[in-house]
Amino acid sequence: MDFSIIAPAVVKYYEIFIIAGDAGSSQPAFAYLKIEVSVGGAAAPGFDISSIFDHLGLYLGLPALILVSFATVLVLVNENKFVKLHGILSGSSWILTTINLIAGLTKIPINTWFGVYPPIIHIPHIILGITGLVTGLLSMLFGIAAERRPAKITGYITLLCWWSAFFLGYFLNSNLLLL
């Protein structure tokens, strides 16, 4: 298939996003292409605050991971001294992850969830993220109830799941993965 794009006369920075699918099968495969074009030497736009609410791990997932990792280190150093700060940081991490999940569910069309990215990486990314969210909630509830052993186990599961989901998401969105 050939197509042509005629550059507009307006000096501006443009992003072209193309989604293509194979309608010849019962389970169409999708691919996408994002092209950035500068017409007349226009500069790329700077940071847009609304992009924080995109389902992007670097803006929501990474800060959540840093918070929960730091909270874990603090409670390992001195549980009695840092238990309140641990709760605040871990709770903040859980809230950021919940916002990231909601952004992913609302911004990405459901019919493209398993078609744009390779399912071998995307499905584990989703499963790990949701598992971490559920175990994080359980860990928070166990922590509030002062049940230390189940809180630690579910907390470590959360940490492992979220870091794994983050790296899988990184590979999904990087140039390391060729579709």
The chain-wide mean pLDDT, for the chain, equals 79
In the DSSP assignment, the letter for residue 43 is: P
| Residue 64 belongs to domain spanning | 49-173
**Do 72 and 141 fall into the same domain?**
yes
Tell me whether residue 77 is in a domain: yes
Structural domains of the chain, count: 2
In this predicted structure, the answer to whether residue 50 has a pLDDT above a threshold of 80 is no
**Do 66 and 27 fall into the same domain?**
no
Query: Given its phi and psi angles, is residue 41 left (phi above 0), alpha (psi -120 to 50 degrees) or beta?
Result: left
**Do 78 and 114 fall into the same domain?**
yes
Over residues 114-167, the pLDDT tens digits come to: 666 667 777 888 899 999 999 999 999 999 998 989 999 999 999 999 999 888
pLDDT number for residue 177: 47
Q: Enter the pTM of the model.
A: 0.65
**Do 98 and 133 fall into the same domain?**
yes
**Do 96 and 19 fall into the same domain?**
no
**Do 25 and 83 fall into the same domain?**
no
pLDDT number for residue 178: 42
| Structure tokens, 79 | 């549980």
Tell me whether residue 2 is in a domain: yes
- The position carrying tokens 């609304």 is 50
- The mean pLDDT value for 47-70 works out to 72
**Do 59 and 41 fall into the same domain?**
no
- The mean pLDDT value for 14-31 works out to 71
**Do 36 and 68 fall into the same domain?**
no
pLDDT category of residue 93 using cuts at 50, 70 and 90: very high
Among 46, 62, 80, where does a domain finish? 46
**Do 78 and 141 fall into the same domain?**
yes
Tell me whether residue 32 is in a domain: yes
Q: Which residues of 21-58 are buried (b: 16+ CB within 10 A; e: fewer)?
A: eeeeeeeeebeeeeeeeeeeeeeeeeeeeeeeebbbbe
Query: Given its phi and psi angles, is residue 37 left (phi above 0), alpha (psi -120 to 50 degrees) or beta?
Result: beta
Tell me whether residue 178 is in a domain: no
**Do 63 and 133 fall into the same domain?**
yes
Give CA torsion, residues 121, 49, 132, 146, to 10 deg: 170
Do the Cβ atoms of 146 and 168 come closer than 8 Å?
no
In this predicted structure, the answer to whether residue 175 has a pLDDT above a threshold of 50 is no
Tell me whether residue 179 is in a domain: no
**Do 32 and 68 fall into the same domain?**
no
**Do 18 and 69 fall into the same domain?**
no
Amino acid identity at 31: A
